[in-house]
Amino acid sequence: ERATTEELARFVCSDCGRVCRSYTQLSWHIRDAHPGDLDAAAHAVLDRDAHRVADQQAEQPQREHERREARRKPGEPRVSPRPPLPPPYFADIQLGALFGNMRTFRWYAHQELIGTSNHDAPSAIAREQEDTVGSLQPLLIDARRGLSPMRAVVDGLLDKLGLRFHTVTIEVELTPGEPPVAVVMHYRKLDAMARFLFRFVTPEHCRPRRLVERSSGDRVYADPYSGDVLLELCGAIQARDPSAIAFALKLYWDDTNLTKNGERSACPVSVTSLALPLEQARQPSNGMLLSYLSKVPDRAMLEVSDARKTTVRKLLFRAQMRHLFSGMRDRSMISLVGTTAVGAHGQAERIYPVVLGLSLDYPKIAQVTQTLQNQACWMCYARKGPGFWSHESFDLRSNATQRAHIGRAWALHPHSAAARADHTRPLGLHPDPNPAFEVVGLDVFQGTAIPLMHFCEHGTGQKLMECTFQLMQSSLSSRDFKALGKQIDAWITARVVPLHMTKCAFSRGISHYLYGAYINPLDPWEGTVKFGQIASADTLRDILRFWRLLLVDISPGCPQLLELFTVYFEWLELMYRRAHTDGSLRYASDLNEQWQDLAISLFGKEHFEDSIKFHAAGAHLADWTTGRGSLLYYNDAYGELLNKSNAKEPWRRTNYHRGPHGAEEQMTTVVSRTDLLKLLLQLAERADASPAPPPPLASPQLGPPSRLMGVRETVCRIDLGAAQNIHPSLLQLPFSV
Ligand SMILES: [Zn+2]
Ligand SMILES: [Zn+2]
């Protein structure tokens, strides 16, 4: 990256005039060349941080766009960049006035971010005030009251912005007829969150558009606003309210362990604005915590029968879904009146928040769509068996058709749950009423995304590699296969590590990641070869990177295998594209059929007939992309990052207690405060960065910089007789000296 001379002028050391390439280099220079000058060092760090914030929010989309152009694959359509994101709208929040002054705000915000407890706060405040007596901006906190007054200000802001968590108590009957157990759920209101997220974008970002490739005339599908669903939805809304804006959101949720043994876990639900460019949408900081889905305490479940446990879990899940979407629940989108929100452009707009997509792993997909897990596809009527491996295409499900099926089951068998289940089983459906049908804008069947990572790297990619090993295993004696395994490990340790193209170090070869290594570390190639739990998505992605090379070197005698993986990798690349045309989607579906046929002829269909991953990823790529844009916006790999920021990190700042005011409630408090303070700190830093004019370019050729003594010399050389020119009263000066 080359900086222009104008940009360079901003990276000049004010002490020695040295010109640096970046703020980072400047702060290193000051650290090394002027070790004693703390003021200069502090300024350099502040400048660098402000620059970084401004960079992240304003310049990156452009830079990302240039990088993307450079990386664009042959055949991938060119998409004009989304409009650059202006700074978010926060003109209604005056930090200096709210917190007394900016220093008080900054100091307080940093205490919250590092996790200073209210118990330690009084002495920290007192010490800070004592150390900085006479500072231009005094620290305006009463040490005796700790952080509480500031927290009250933040809580007021959370209320104003609609970011405060609410609690609801759900009563669950564990055993029918006995007193229910109370489960507390913490949630933010989705409509308020939508209004908050709209502050970051402009109406321009929420305008559905029909992209066309000039050369071929093909439609282009890239971001969610270039897909058919938002085009139609927006048309329907604007037929009633021409200036209305459809504001698309994505939800992600998944269980995550909080303790190593899995005894404590959480299920954070996060909401992301789909109007953001992909670079922003996939950053964990933009996935805001919406809720924690609670569970019935394990101890309470101990004496409940297994069948009843399943029922209880379903009842609780449905009750929580209903609360989560209560703010925007209505039968149809059109009947909603929308809500008023101010965008980044500073003007109030009428927005209609819609949940365009859910990003979940497969067990959660089956739960939310209420389709039979591992038995039926959630998007179409394909069933386990030939439905999963043949190329037959099935009708797609929709909210309307599935609701009709469930309604029919209830009308026919109002008194028998078993008869209702029998009625909907051939459809691959549970007959329970589904609260997800009421979520505005969401078709839960077509709008629940294919989980890319779980279905590709962790799905078909892993499966095809395992099948390859098993094929070799079945055609060799166990001694020969063991020798081959050793050869493979040796190839990997020799070839892969020096290349530095992988995230994981394969110092122990591939066998380290096999289930066999867990059973018998001395002979990991014994037994049916399968990857173990230890093989993460990163590991599998790495192995896929060198897999074809490995096959060429280790097993040159099987051209079919090589062809399978050649086609598979080409298809995989298409799955991960950020933009498609009608043509590239047709090509992807051809490739999908090709590699599936090759896999079946090599390994046999029995490996794939109960694998939803084998069916859904390839079969529904085109439906998804034409409707809702590139799958990358809904990538479950980005979603998993949210478990860290929205559950694991706040967990460490709780007292780990269970119960109504326990860890979960404390986590919501931590998340809501730190989220907001991080954002406000960034805003403050950018406000500092923008009005300051760049320092003038110092020229090092002018000799040594002026020092205090030098200034005095100059004063002494003034002709005393000329002093009266400055002020008449100085006329007497020559005489008095
Ligand atoms: Zn210097
Ligand atoms: Zn399907």
pLDDT in tens, 207-238: 999 999 888 889 999 999 999 999 999 998 88
CB atoms within 10 A of CB 33: 13
Which residues on neighbouring strands pair with residue 355, listed in sequence order? 249
What would you report as the CA-atom Rg of the chain, rounded to the nearest whole angstrom?
31
**What is the rounded average pLDDT of the residues 239-243?**
87
Q: Which of the ligands is closest to the CA of residue 613?
A: 2
CB 112 within 8 A of CB 677: yes
Rounded Cα distance, 602 and 593, in Å: 14
Determine the pLDDT at residue 590: 95
Where do the structural domains in the chain lie, given as residue ranges?
5-71, 371-433, 452-619
Rounded Cα distance, 184 and 664, in Å: 9
Which residues on neighbouring strands pair with residue 171, listed in sequence order? 182
C-alpha of residue 445 to centroid of ligand 2, in Å: 10
pLDDT in tens, 326-375: 766 554 454 466 888 999 999 999 999 999 999 999 999 999 999 999 99
Between 517 and 709, residue with greater pLDDT: 517
DSSP 456: I
DSSP 292: E
**What is the rounded average pLDDT of the residues 706-729?**
43
Among 294-298, 588-592, 682-686, the minimum mean pLDDT is found in 682-686
Residues 6+ apart with CB under 8 A from 643: 254, 256, 268
C-alpha of residue 372 to centroid of ligand 2, in Å: 13
Type of residue numbered 642: L
Q: Is the pLDDT of residue 688 over 90?
A: no
Q: Which of the ligands is closest to the CA of residue 16?
A: 1
Rounded Cα distance, 581 and 573, in Å: 14
pLDDT band at residue 200, thresholds of 50, 70 and 90?
A: very high
pLDDT in tens, 571-630: 999 999 989 999 999 999 999 999 999 999 999 999 999 999 999 999 999 999 999 999
C-alpha of residue 548 to centroid of ligand 2, in Å: 29
Q: Phi-psi region for residue 204, left (φ > 0), alpha (ψ -120 to 50) or beta? A: alpha
Determine the pLDDT at residue 154: 94
Between 716 and 168, residue with greater pLDDT: 168
C-alpha of residue 687 to centroid of ligand 1, in Å: 26
Q: Is the dihedral of CA 72, 75, 80, 84 positive or negative?
A: negative
Determine the pLDDT at residue 331: 45
CB 164 within 8 A of CB 317: no
Supply φ then ψ for residue 353, to 5 degrees. Answer: -70, 130
Q: What percent of the chain is modeled with pLDDT above 70? A: 86
Supply φ then ψ for residue 622, to 5 degrees. Answer: -70, -45
Supply φ then ψ for residue 19, to 5 degrees. Answer: -95, 125
Determine the pLDDT at residue 554: 84
Q: Secondary structure of 684-736 in the HEC alphabet?
A: HHHHHHCCCCCCCCCCHHHCCCCCHHHHHHHHHCCCHHHHHHCCHHHHHHHHH
CB 382 within 8 A of CB 623: no
CB 454 within 8 A of CB 362: yes
Rounded Cα distance, 236 and 334, in Å: 7
Q: Is the pLDDT of residue 406 over 50?
A: yes
**What is the rounded average pLDDT of the residues 311-316?**
91
Q: Is the pLDDT of residue 694 over 50?
A: no
Residues around ion ligand 2, judged by CB within 5 A, are 377, 379-380, 382
C-alpha of residue 3 to centroid of ligand 1, in Å: 19
| Residue the block writes with tokens 């050869």 | 487
C-alpha of residue 11 to centroid of ligand 1, in Å: 11
The separation between CA 577 and the C-alpha centre of its own chain, rounded to angstroms, equals 18
Among 130-144, 255-269, 380-394, 680-694, the minimum mean pLDDT is found in 680-694
Between 244 and 45, residue with greater pLDDT: 244
Determine the pLDDT at residue 420: 96
Q: Is the pLDDT of residue 469 over 50?
A: yes
pLDDT in tens, 501-515: 677 778 888 888 988
Q: Which of the ligands is closest to the CA of residue 396?
A: 2
Q: What percent of the chain is modeled with pLDDT above 90? A: 47
Q: Which of the ligands is closest to the CA of residue 384?
A: 2
HSE value, Cβ hemisphere, 13 Å, CA-based, for 532: 16
Q: Which of the ligands is closest to the CA of residue 41?
A: 1
- Starting from the edge strand earliest in sequence, which strands make up the sheet with 580-581, in order? 211-212, 219-221, 580-581
pLDDT in tens, 480-503: 999 999 999 998 888 876 656 677
The tokens of 329 are what?
């629940």
Q: Which of the ligands is closest to the CA of residue 29?
A: 1
Q: Which of the ligands is closest to the CA of residue 379?
A: 2
**What is the rounded average pLDDT of the residues 172-197?**
89
Rounded Cα distance, 428 and 445, in Å: 12
Q: Which of the ligands is closest to the CA of residue 624?
A: 2
Residues 6+ apart with CB under 8 A from 88: 199, 200, 344, 679, 683
C-alpha of residue 5 to centroid of ligand 1, in Å: 18
pLDDT band at residue 673, thresholds of 50, 70 and 90?
A: very high
Q: What is the mean pLDDT of the chain?
A: 85
Q: Which of the ligands is closest to the CA of residue 14?
A: 1
C-alpha of residue 33 to centroid of ligand 1, in Å: 6
HSE value, Cβ hemisphere, 13 Å, CA-based, for 244: 24
CB 272 within 8 A of CB 250: yes
Beta strand spans in 512-579 (E): none
C-alpha of residue 2 to centroid of ligand 1, in Å: 21
C-alpha of residue 538 to centroid of ligand 2, in Å: 27
Which residues on neighbouring strands pair with residue 211, listed in sequence order? 220
pLDDT band at residue 716, thresholds of 50, 70 and 90?
A: very low
pLDDT in tens, 85-110: 888 898 888 888 999 999 999 999 99
Q: Provide the pairing of β-strand 268-273 with 245-253.
A: antiparallel
Determine the pLDDT at residue 291: 94
Cβ-count burial of 729 within 10 angstroms (0-12 exposed, 13-18 middle, 19+ buried)?
A: exposed
DSSP 285: G
DSSP 447: T
Q: Is the pLDDT of residue 383 over 50?
A: yes
| Residue the block writes with tokens 């439609």 | 219
Between 320 and 692, residue with greater pLDDT: 320
The closest alpha carbon to 186, from 381, 320, 1, belongs to 320
Q: Is the pLDDT of residue 433 over 60?
A: yes
Q: Which of the ligands is closest to the CA of residue 698?
A: 1
**What is the rounded average pLDDT of the residues 265-271?**
94
CA 659 vs CA 185, 188, 204, 429, 667: distances in Å: 11, 20, 46, 35, 13
Determine the pLDDT at residue 701: 41
Q: Is the pLDDT of residue 736 over 50?
A: no
| DSSP codes of every residue in 10-67 | GGB-TTT--B-SSHHHHHHHHHHH-TT-HHHHHHHHHHHHHHHHHIIIIIHHHHHHHH
Among 160-169, 394-403, 682-691, the minimum mean pLDDT is found in 682-691
pLDDT band at residue 12, thresholds of 50, 70 and 90?
A: confident
C-alpha of residue 211 to centroid of ligand 2, in Å: 27
The tokens of 189 are what?
């209101």
C-alpha of residue 16 to centroid of ligand 1, in Å: 4
The tokens of 159 are what?
């209320």
Between 39 and 211, residue with greater pLDDT: 211
CB 619 within 8 A of CB 382: yes
**What is the rounded average pLDDT of the residues 190-198?**
91
